[in-house]
């Protein structure tokens, strides 16, 4: 499914879309596929498959640990694409979340080609800003892949406009200044950022960083078009006694969050 | 002897795009940091055009750090070790805190105050940049947090104590390879979170724009002085300039004033570790490939999937899998030559300089000395080679004592 279709479907139901992240290869490649598939069945609309990278400077300790484990287990770009293919076959919209160097090394054009073949709908690039994305934008456009860039509370209105101009699929709004990880409160900055972003684009705006519960999802869903949850899913897998119970725990969180995005009153 | 306000000179970059050196450089960073990088760039340009800023920095370099540093004619080392080529040492080891790192941090700390921020963070490998940052923070009354790989806090325990004495908080980083590269990741994470109050005092000419330009301009004083000193001493420009290259700040500092002197050969010596053929080294340019690490496109040590490969060197200061983007450009354009020097050759030069000149160099700088020996053999008697002696070796005594077997056997466990 295309990302825009997934957001449109949620919008038609009068709710925000639920976006769920897991790094590929955690706890194993097949284990990650099972968890993501279960999350989709439990209500995740859009999937972000993380590409494990040795230097994840936007990520907090939970995702760092999972990514380290995935790398030690041998997960590399081909396994990430295999994960995309398996999860996309469930019918969900699937994007890759990757730092730039692994894509650069794989070859931006080859990556775009293989991502498209795997049924992926695009890529979120947390350390690539449109200013330096000349190697990515043309090849992604040629394959009709979504290019999702981030906006942050520190972004000027000018930069938000520049960034959303190059976004396709949706805009990723970072709720707080900081790295990934669950937080007790999603910053007040998020609503203001969404308002400023909305002034520049008709694309859906999804808010990420810090969301971990159904109540937080409901709160974010009241002002955003999508709610992004990552570390909280990883945490469920990490705390589980075995892979099967990890899958169940991730699915139950997905259900709670899916309920949350339906409770919001926009 | 110091040129007035050398930071006001902004030499042309070899590229029209700001922050790019040919295809290298740029800003591969989270959007959240862009505002801070823009602010730093803007304030730096304003400061560089402000005579009062230049005067304040020059005053500190002179009265606090002891600049200009001398150029020492290393006659005994030259005769014994460099095939008769004349080796001149640019004595950055005589700076306050013992290395060239202070040139950069004094400028960046002044800039922090100018921007109105109250807290500085920095990464450190060997501890030299951390000590320099803690020093400048103490001098200027700034809160200071230093990120250091857990592995390095063990290797350089004395420098951890120095930083703490200076009032800094040292945070051991236990993620990834637990060395300099992970300390940079952690400092970046801190910066993203605390950017409103905090300036990141980056230690080398790598990282996102404007750091490669900013740090280079602040280190440029080394070459500006050396160029004048060598002409006063010998009546001409040198045949070659040699420096060690980790991230590359001391090397770009001494190279930069000579770039237009095309008759002067520029040589960067990277850490060859156990030998490049073993795979255990930090020879980023000589055996890496272009890619993106820590915010810039440059050569780096990476595998076929774009994952960073851990570097290895006896010298913690050179133990880094990346390198500044301007060095990548100088390499590709042919203006500078980069070659590996392995641990054994560096330690031999370390000992030779100590015994022939009474100067114990930092192991980092010993790589440049070893490289200069090879150059001397190539260029022949009478050739003049300026070596950047970027730091002193006090911090390395433990490593050296183990290497040369100078400790009693009980203390040698684990070597």
pLDDT tens for each residue of A201-215: 999 999 998 899 999
Helices (H), B195-220: 211-219
Measured CA to CA in angstroms, residue A234 lies from A125, A172, A237, B96 at distances of 19, 19, 5, 48
Beta bridge partners of B169: B145
Strands B240-245 and A171-174: unpaired
pLDDT at residue number B6: 45
Question: From A158, which residue of chain B is nearest by alpha-carbon distance?
Answer: B35
Q: What are the structure tokens assigned to A240, written together?
A: 């589980």
User: How does the average pLDDT of chain A come out, rounded?
Assistant: 95
Q: Which of A106, A126, A129 sits opposite B27 (nearest CB)?
A: A129
**Residue-range domain boundaries for chain A:** 3-263
Question: From A175, which residue of chain B is nearest by alpha-carbon distance?
Answer: B32
Phi, psi of A99 (to 5 degrees): -65, 160
Question: From A157, which residue of chain B is nearest by alpha-carbon distance?
Answer: B35
Q: Which CATH superfamily is domain A3-263 in?
A: Aldolase class I (3.20.20.70)
Dist. CA B184–CA B202, nearest whole Å? 9
CA-based nearest residue to A54, from B309, B351, B278, B290: B309
- Confidence at B266, pLDDT banded by 50, 70, 90: very high
**Residue B414 pLDDT greater than 80, yes or no:** no
> Is A71 in contact with B307 (Cβ distance < 8 A)?
yes
pLDDT at residue number A5: 97
Dist. CA B284–CA A90, nearest whole Å? 43
Over residues A119-162, the pLDDT tens digits come to 999 999 999 999 999 999 999 999 999 999 999 999 999 999 99
Dist. CA A126–CA A141, nearest whole Å? 18
Catalytic residue chosen out of the listed positions A13, A30, A48, A114: A48
Q: How many helices (H) and strands (E) does chain B have?
A: 16, 15
Residues of chain B contacting residue A156, judged by C-beta atoms under 8 Å apart: 35
Reply yes or no on whether A59 is catalytic: yes
Phi, psi of A20 (to 5 degrees): -115, 140
SS3 assignment, position A160: helix
Residues of chain B contacting residue A179, judged by C-beta atoms under 8 Å apart: 189, 192-193
Reply yes or no on whether B270 is catalytic: no
Q: Which of B35, B36, B291 sits opposite A105 (nearest CB)?
A: B291
More confident residue, B15 or B220: B220
Dist. CA B311–CA B157, nearest whole Å? 21
> Is A55 in contact with B293 (Cβ distance < 8 A)?
yes
pLDDT at residue number B316: 87
Element (H, E) at B202: none
Residue with the two structure tokens 């950017």:
B195
> Is B307 in contact with A57 (Cβ distance < 8 A)?
no
Dist. CA B86–CA B75, nearest whole Å? 7
SS3 assignment, position B275: strand
SS3 assignment, position A136: coil
Q: What count of CB pairs under 8 Å joins A to B? A: 113
Q: Is the dihedral of CA B283, B288, B294, B298 positive or negative?
A: positive
Over residues B31-77, the pLDDT tens digits come to 999 999 999 999 999 999 999 999 999 999 999 999 999 999 999 99
Q: What are the structure tokens assigned to A241, written together?
A: 């006694």
CA-based nearest residue to B66, from B40, B32, B94, B45: B94
> Is B306 in contact with A150 (Cβ distance < 8 A)?
no
pLDDT at residue number B276: 95
Q: Is B344 on the interface with A (CB under 8 A)?
A: no
Residues of chain A contacting residue B26, judged by C-beta atoms under 8 Å apart: 132
- Say what the pTM is: 0.94
Over residues B281-305, the pLDDT tens digits come to 999 999 999 999 999 999 999 999 9
More confident residue, B409 or B271: B271
Whether the upstream peptide bond of residue A9 has omega within 30° of 0, thus cis, is no
Q: What are the structure tokens assigned to B410, written together?
A: 């009980």
pLDDT at residue number A133: 97
Catalytic residue chosen out of the listed positions B101, B117, B181, B395: B101
The span from the first CA to the last CA of chain B, in angstroms, equals 45
Strands of A93-210, DSSP E: 93-97, 122-124, 146-148, 150-151, 171-174, 205-208
Over residues A46-94, the pLDDT tens digits come to 999 999 999 998 898 899 999 999 999 999 999 999 999 999 999 999 9
The span from the first CA to the last CA of chain A, in angstroms, equals 26
Residues of chain A contacting residue B295, judged by C-beta atoms under 8 Å apart: 127
Reply yes or no on whether B390 is catalytic: yes
Phi, psi of A169 (to 5 degrees): 90, -70
Indicate left, alpha or beta for B300 from its phi (over 0: left) and psi (-120 to 50: alpha).
Answer: beta
């Amino acid at each position: 499914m295309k990302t825009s279709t997934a957001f449109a479907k949620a919008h038609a139901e009068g709710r925000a879309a639920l976006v769920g992240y897991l790094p590929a290869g955690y706890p194993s490649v097949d284990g990650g596929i099972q968890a993501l598939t279960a999350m989709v069945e439990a209500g995740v609309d859009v999937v972000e498959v993380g590409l494990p990278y040795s230097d994840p400077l936007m990520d907090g300790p939970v995702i760092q640990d999972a990514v380290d484990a995935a790398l030690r287990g041998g997960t590399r770009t081909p396994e990430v694409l295999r994960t995309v293919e398996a999860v996309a076959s469930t019918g969900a919209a699937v994007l890759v979340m990757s730092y730039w160097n692994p894509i650069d090394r794989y070859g931006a054009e080859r990556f775009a080609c293989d991502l498209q073949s795997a049924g992926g709908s695009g890529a979120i690039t947390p350390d690539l800003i449109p200013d330096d994305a000349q190697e990515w934008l043309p090849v992604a456009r040629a394959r009709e892949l979504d290019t999702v860039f981030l906006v942050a509370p520190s972004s000027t209105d000018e930069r938000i406009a520049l960034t959303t101009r190059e976004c396709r699929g949706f805009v990723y709004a970072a709720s707080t200044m900081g790295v990934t990880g669950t937080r007790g409160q999603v910053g007040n900055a998020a609503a203001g950022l969404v308002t400023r972003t909305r002034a520049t684009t008709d694309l859906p705006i999804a808010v990420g960083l810090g969301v971990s519960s159904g109540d937080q999802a409901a709160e974010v869903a009241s002002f955003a078009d999508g709610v992004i949850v990552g570390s909280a899913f990883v945490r469920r897998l990490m705390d589980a006694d075995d892979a099967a119970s990890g899958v169940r725990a991730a699915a139950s969180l997905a259900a709670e969050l899916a309920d949350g995005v339906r409770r919001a009153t926009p | 002897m110091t040129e007035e306000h050398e930071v006001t000179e902004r030499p042309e970059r070899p590229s029209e795009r700001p922050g790019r050196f040919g295809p290298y450089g740029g800003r591969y960073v989270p959007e959240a940091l862009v505002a801070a990088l823009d602010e730093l760039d803007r304030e730096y340009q304003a400061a560089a055009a402000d005579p009062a800023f230049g005067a304040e920095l020059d005053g500190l370099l002179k009265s606090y750090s002891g600049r200009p540093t001398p150029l020492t004619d290393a006659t005994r080392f030259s005769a014994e070790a460099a095939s008769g080529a004349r080796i001149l040492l640019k004595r950055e080891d005589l700076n306050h805190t013992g290395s060239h790192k202070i040139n950069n941090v004094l400028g960046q700390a002044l800039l922090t105050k100018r921007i109105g921020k109250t807290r500085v963070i920095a990464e450190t490998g060997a501890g030299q940049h951390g000590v320099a940052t803690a020093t400048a923070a103490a001098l200027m009354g700034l809160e200071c947090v230093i990120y250091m790989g857990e592995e390095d806090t063990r290797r350089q325990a004395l420098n951890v104590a120095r930083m703490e004495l200076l009032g800094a908080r040292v945070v051991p980083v236990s993620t990834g390879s637990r060395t300099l590269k992970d300390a940079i990741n952690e400092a970046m994470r801190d910066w993203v979170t605390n950017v409103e109050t905090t300036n990141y005092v980056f230690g080398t000419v790598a990282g996102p724009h404007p750091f490669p330009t900013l740090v280079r301009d602040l280190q440029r004083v080394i070459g500006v002085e050396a160029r004048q000193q060598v002409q006063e001493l010998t009546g001409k420009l040198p045949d070659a300039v040699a420096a060690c290259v980790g991230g590359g700040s001391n090397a770009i500092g001494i190279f930069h004033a000579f770039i237009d002197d095309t008759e002067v050969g520029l040589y960067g010596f990277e850490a060859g570790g156990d030998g490049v053929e073993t795979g255990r080294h930090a020879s980023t340019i000589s055996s890496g490939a272009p890619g993106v690490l820590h915010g810039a496109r440059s050569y780096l040590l990476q595998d076929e999937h774009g994952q960073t490969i851990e570097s290895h060197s006896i010298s913690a200061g050179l133990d880094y899998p990346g390198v500044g983007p301007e060095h990548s450009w100088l390499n590709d354009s042919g203006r500078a030559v980069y070659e590996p020097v392995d641990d054994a050759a560096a330690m031999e030069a370390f000992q030779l300089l100590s015994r022939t000149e009474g100067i114990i160099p930092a192991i980092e700088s010993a790589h440049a000395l070893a490289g200069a020996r090879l150059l001397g053999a190539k260029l022949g008697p009478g050739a003049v080679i300026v070596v950047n002696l970027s730091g002193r070796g006090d911090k390395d005594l433990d490593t050296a004592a183990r290497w040369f077997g100078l400790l009693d056997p009980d203390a040698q466990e684990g070597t």
